[in-house]
Each structure stands twice: as C-alpha cells, then as structure tokens.
Structure 1
Amino acid sequence: MILESIEAKIGSLAPDFRLRATNGQEIALSDFHGKSNVIVFFIRETSCPQCRTHVTQLGRMYEQFRETGTEIIVILGENLEKSRAYAEGIDLPFPILSDPDRAIYELYELEKYFLLFQRTASLVVDKEGVVRYLKRTTVPNVWLQETRELFGFVDSLNSVQLV
C-alpha cells in the first residue's frame, strides 16, 4: 500500500495508493495516469443498500463510462475475504479494492463522523492525476442520484480543455 500525505481536494493531485483487488491483482491509482480518467467510489459499509445500488448502477453504465475514457474502481474498508464476499454478490466489470485498515479512507479524509458514521466519497481523477470532482458525505442517499451526474461530468472532461 502506498500512502502520500497530500490533501485530496479539487484541483490538486490525487493522493496515490496501491491496494489489492478482490481478484488478487494489486492496483494503484497511478496505474491510470496518462491512460484514463478514474472514478473512485468509497463504499460506506457492506451493509449500505444505497452504496450497493450506486455500485450496481455504475456497473450497468460501465461501457458508457469507458467510452468517455473513464475507468471505475471501488474501495471497500474490509479485509480481502469480506471484500470478495461482497463482490461475489454483485457481478461488476470493474475492480473492488480491499482497504482493511481503512488507511486510504483516512488519506482521503473519510474518517468516521462522531466515531459512528462512516464517511463515503466519490471522486473523479483525470488522466493527469488531478482531482476534478469530489463529493464526501455521511448520508448515502446522495449516491442514488449521482450515477448520471458522474457520467455527465466525465463526459464533459473530454470536451473541455482543463488548464
């Protein structure tokens, strides 16, 4: 696991990380630099139905996202065994990464709110590794509206020259 202590905010370089996926492959955010935009979604908890719905919606729209030059990765704050069990419950065309000690959650400032409510986030990192979209919340209902919003955003990255 790679940790860089850089604050994640819009317009800044995204903090890099390397985690193991449920298929056993190690994936780093920097693996996508120069190749594709990346949507990174942090699942709140395996029991979060809104997160599951959002991940399923992302899976259904995966080919549309790929057509915009965008890949998707999902991060789950569980050990590899629990992450695999979660992944088996939904057939996804993109990787689920295991963050058992939630170090990447902390890196992206997703600590538990009042030590009770896990913060979750969705972000878009462009091909240069810059955070272009970032939404953090403890209210998972926002993800039920976000899939189309994300698609519109990544589609606009292709038509706008970012400086």
Structure 2
Amino acid sequence: MTNLESFKPGIPAPDFSLIATSGDRVQLSDWKGHKHVLLFFMRAFNCMQCREFARRLAVEAPKLAERDTQVVILGPGSRQEADRLAKAVDKDNRLTILSDGTGEVYDRFSLNKTFFSLIQKSGVFLINRAGIIHYAAATSIPNRWLNAEVIEGLYQELENADPSESPASASTTQG
C-alpha cells in the first residue's frame, strides 16, 4: 500500500532530476519560486487510462499555464516510451514528459511497487511555488483519473496553492 502519510500537505516535495523528451535535464526545484507544478505519475507509459488522463492534461495545459502551473508527467519506463507518449498526447509540446527508468523518483514519492504489491500505483501531486506539497492522491485503479471531477478538483486545489495560503486547506487522498 502506498504510504501517502509521509506526504501530508505542507512538507517540501522531494527534488529530482531527469531528462525530458525535449532532451533537457529537468529538476523539480527549477520551478521553485516561479510556478506551481502538477506532477502526474503514470502506472506505465502504455496504461490506456493514464494516457487518456495525459491527453486531458495536454488540453488543460494552456489554462493551467495561465495559473502559473507547469504540467509534468512521469512514467516508469524508457526514454523511448516517453517519446512515444509525447508524440501521441502532446503534439503542441505543452507538457514536460519524463521517464523514470530506475523508479527512483517513484520511490521518493512513495509510489513504487513494493514486495507485496504487483500493481504500480499512479499519483497526482500539486507542488506550490514554494516547493511544498499542496495536494497528493494515489491509486492502483487508474479509471479514477478519467472522472471529470478530478480536473475540476485540481483547479479548486490551485486556488489555494499559493504559499501564502494555509497548508490546512491542502489535502491528501488515497484510492
């Protein structure tokens, strides 16, 4: 079971550095002080529900950018798999797509497979401009991301994500 208890709102997000499909090295802390970051951890690059949610995030990316939010998608796989996802869902290059081939970043966010878990969990984290986790959700049932209320809920969370807001308004969910 994913332990999101260690990711209660109000704690700093673990930093990481990976190569994006653009070829650039991306570090989470690069956005600190400038933008909110919406991290979507896919179960796998070929997970159909995760791919559909990635498509939705690509459509929403311009609106999220207006709210100073960068969308970052991670998958546990190869750079080639990340490139294929980018070509399929992000033709306008609005997303930052990363491959976590070693699973290190998934581990840092408590999303990697465990000895007793046969299914990779997916997750969404909203990191505010101060680098603090504002919202965290994880599930082993990726159909959850296809619920239209998920995107609406993320916009609501963004309304309270500024560092000046109280972490008490932030939330964590597991499914």
- The TM-score normalised by the length of structure 2 is 0.83
Residue 32 of structure 1 corresponds to which residue in structure 2?
A: 31
Residue 139 of structure 1 corresponds to which residue in structure 2?
A: 141
Q: Is the 8 A contact 1:43 1:51 kept in 2?
A: yes
Q: Is the 8 A contact 1:118 1:138 kept in 2?
A: yes
Q: 1:157 aligns with which of 140, 161, 164?
A: 161
Q: Is the 8 A contact 1:54 1:147 kept in 2?
A: no
The yes-or-no answer on 1:123 pairing with 2:122 is no
Residue 78 of structure 1 corresponds to which residue in structure 2?
A: 77
| Displacement of 1:27 | 0.5
Per-residue Cα deviation, 1:8-30 (whole angstroms, up to 9, x for no partner): 33210000000100111110100
Task: Flag structure 2 segments of 5+ consecutive residues without an equivalent.
Answer: 1-5, 168-175
Task: Flag structure 1 segments of 5+ consecutive residues without an equivalent.
Answer: 1-6
Amino acid at match of 1:55: A
Q: Distance in 2 between matches of 1:157 and 1:12?
A: 13
* Percentage identity across paired residues of the two chains: 29
Amino acid at match of 1:99: D
| Displacement of 1:156 | 3.5
Q: Distance in 2 between matches of 1:104 and 1:157?
A: 22
CA root-mean-square deviation: 1.8
Residue 171 of structure 2 corresponds to which residue in structure 1?
A: none
Q: Distance in 2 between matches of 1:51 and 1:72?
A: 14
Could you say what secondary structure the match of 2:7 adopts?
Answer: coil
Q: Is the 8 A contact 1:8 1:15 kept in 2?
A: no
Moved more, 24-33 or 142-151: 142-151
| Displacement of 1:47 | 2.2
Per-residue Cα deviation, 1:100-154 (whole angstroms, up to 9, x for no partner): 0111001111122533100111000000000000001111111112122112211
Number of residue-to-residue matches in the alignment: 157
